[in-house]
Amino acid sequence: MSIEIDRVNKRFRDFVAVDDVSLTFREGELTALLGPSGSGKTTLLRIIAGLEQPDTGRIRFHGEDTTDLHVSKRGVGFVFQHYALFKHMTVFQNVAYGLTVRPRATRPTKDEIKQKVMRLLELVQLDWTAHRYPHQLSGGQRQRIALARALAVEPKVLLLDEPFGALDAKVRAELRRWLRRLHDDIHVTSVFVTHDQEEALEVSDRVVVMNKGRVEQDGSPEEVYDHPANPFVYRFLGNVNLFEARVHQGSAHIGGIALPAPEYADQRNEHGHAYVRPHEIEVFARQEHADALPAKVELVSVVGPAVRLELHTDASDALVHAELPKHRYRALGLSQGSDAWIRPLHSRVFLPDERVLNG
């Protein structure tokens, strides 16, 4: 079932939470709504669910307008950040809840409910917890029960609000891979909210980046990471270095070097910013390339298999961060205080006040 969001607005007093957002989530896709806190992603998710009402705009499920349909009739599965499991019910009762509260006419029999609940508990690999209470489970287990409970009502769409937000790093990583596999099995249209870019990129078919109530970019994880639409997306998806650049006839000039910027073939002597990711900066101990910038190593930190360098160069106001594999760093023979040369391998140039709007 596809979800269509048509020009939705929502404000809380003076705060604009969702600002004229239109999006379509395709059938069977797993989409991440990614953004910093206050970007409106959770509000948008709650509007889709019917837990908030939009000020203006429509929500359609598979073409059918559900904007005025109450949350209890909308047929969504919603997984809450803090699970919202019913504390006084066992795991079994929690998962069965959505079936037992149906009107008698559409309620399955006790046996059917039992079979279905046990099947779902097996699906989330927690059938042995059926008679326990939520407080007896770990955070990751509670989250899986919350998911099973949402799935029990056979929702048309599955909505997850920061599903792994309250878990520690290791459980998080396991659970998101598990969610990906689960989604591949059940294939229900799913949207999940996260502020963790790694999570969004790893799990989803599609990433929608939000900021200040607006959609900044909407695309596949590769697209969003490799071709950020604007400076915000660039910065939000991982670390990035910023160089002052002079944009002239299809090239960006940083210090003494020129980088290709074919999209600005018509620009002349304009001021802009070049964005380069740390792993896209090549570091040399000697001037091996003509188009490398002189720099000085200020700090070296070894993080597991990688080495992060902070370098000072005249072409950037801030220290430049570069990341390289440990063996490469060893081969260079650099240390704190050494002189070095750096060369951006790939950059994306933005002119000030420019909003590049994709799709």
Partner 1 sequence: MSITLARRRVIPGFGLTMGFTLLYMGLIFLVPVGAFLLYTTTMSWDTFWHAVTQRQVVASYKLSFGGSLIAATINLFFGALLAWVLVRYRFPGKRLIDALVDLPFALPTAVAGIALVTLYASTGWVGQYLELFGVRVAYTQLGVVVALTYIGLPFVVRTVQPVLEDLEAEWEEASASLGADRFTTIRRVIFPALFPALLTGYALAFARALGEYGSVVFISGNLPFRTEITPLLIVAKAEQYDYHGAAAIGTVMLVVAFAMLLVINGLQWWTSRRHG
Partner 2 sequence: MNTSNQAASEVDRADTPTASDNDALAKRWRRATEEPAWLKVTLITVALAFVALFLVLPLSVVLFGAFERGIATWLEAIRDPDALSAIRLTLLIVAIVVPLNTLFGIAAAWAIAKFEFRGKPILISLIDMPFAISPVVVGLIFVILFGSQGWLGPWLAAHDLRIIFAVPGIVIVIAFGTLPFIARELIPLMQQQGKEEEEASLTLGASGFKTFWHVTLPNIKWGLIYGIILCNARAMGEFGAVAVVSGRIRGETNTVPLHIEVLYNEYMFTAAFAVSSLLTGLALVTIAIKSVVEWQDERRQRRAAA
- The binding site for partner 2 (CB under 8 A) comprises 49-51, 70-78, 80, 82, 84-89, 97-98, 101-102, 128-129, 135-138, 141, 146, 149-150, 152-153
Pick one of partner 2, partner 1, none as the site partner of residue 53 (Cβ within 5 to 8 A by kind).
Answer: partner 1
Pick one of partner 1, partner 2, none as the site partner of residue 75 (Cβ within 5 to 8 A by kind).
Answer: partner 2
Which residue in 35, 40, 50, 77 binds partner 1 (CB under 8 A)? 50
Least Å from the CB of residue 71 to partner 1: 6
Our finding on whether 58 is near partner 1 (CB under 8 A) is yes
Which residue in 51, 69, 89, 166 binds partner 1 (CB under 8 A)? 51
Pick one of partner 1, partner 2, none as the site partner of residue 78 (Cβ within 5 to 8 A by kind).
Answer: partner 2
Our finding on whether 218 is near partner 1 (CB under 8 A) is no
Pick one of partner 2, partner 1, none as the site partner of residue 128 (Cβ within 5 to 8 A by kind).
Answer: partner 2
Q: 189-194 and 206-211: which strand pairing?
A: unpaired
Sequence letter at residue 64: E
Which residue in 16, 28, 60, 67 binds partner 1 (CB under 8 A)? 67
Pick one of partner 1, partner 2, none as the site partner of residue 7 (Cβ within 5 to 8 A by kind).
Answer: partner 1
Pick one of partner 2, partner 1, none as the site partner of residue 41 (Cβ within 5 to 8 A by kind).
Answer: none
Which of the ranges 44-52, 95-103, 112-120, 176-184 carries the binding residues for partner 1, by CB under 8 A? 44-52
Least Å from the CB of residue 53 to partner 2: 13
Our finding on whether 73 is near partner 1 (CB under 8 A) is no
CA dihedral of residues 259, 264, 266, 269 (deg, nearest 10):
-60
340 is written with which tokens? 């070095």
Pick one of partner 1, partner 2, none as the site partner of residue 86 (Cβ within 5 to 8 A by kind).
Answer: partner 2
Least Å from the CB of residue 14 to partner 1: 17
Our finding on whether 56 is near partner 1 (CB under 8 A) is yes
Nearer to partner 2, 27 or 154 (CB): 154
Nearer to partner 2, 85 or 342 (CB): 85
Which of the ranges 50-58, 114-122, 176-184, 228-236 carries the binding residues for partner 1, by CB under 8 A? 50-58
Pick one of partner 2, partner 1, none as the site partner of residue 80 (Cβ within 5 to 8 A by kind).
Answer: partner 2
Q: 189-194 and 157-161: which strand pairing?
A: parallel
Our finding on whether 19 is near partner 1 (CB under 8 A) is no
Which of the ranges 52-60, 185-193, 229-237, 295-303 carries the binding residues for partner 1, by CB under 8 A? 52-60
- What sign for the dihedral angle of Cα 337, 338, 340, 345? negative
Q: What is the 3-state secondary structure (H, E, C) of the chain?
A: CCEEEEEEEEEECCEEEEEEEEEEECCCCEEEEECCCCCCHHHHHHHHHCCCCCCEEEEEECCEECCCCCHHHCCEEEEECCECCCCCCCHHHHHHHHHHCCCHHHCCCHHHHHHHHHHHHHHCCCHHHCCCCHHHCCHHHHHHHHHHHHHHCCCCEEEEECCCCCCCHHHHHHHHHHHHHHHHHHCCEEEEEECCHHHHHHHCCEEEEEECCEEEEEECHHHHHHCCCCHHHHHHCCCCEEEEEEEECCEEEECCEEEECHHHCCCCCEEEEEEECHHHEEEECCCCCCCCEEEEEEEEEEECCEEEEEEECCCCCCCEEEEEEHHHHHHHCCCCCCEEEEEECCCEEECCCCCCCCC
Sequence letter at residue 2: S
Least Å from the CB of residue 307 to partner 2: 36
Which residues lie below 8 Å from residue 212, measured CB to CB, with a gap of 6+?
16, 19, 38, 39, 40
Least Å from the CB of residue 135 to partner 1: 22
Contacting positions for partner 1 (CB under 8 A): 7, 9, 50-58, 67-68, 70-71
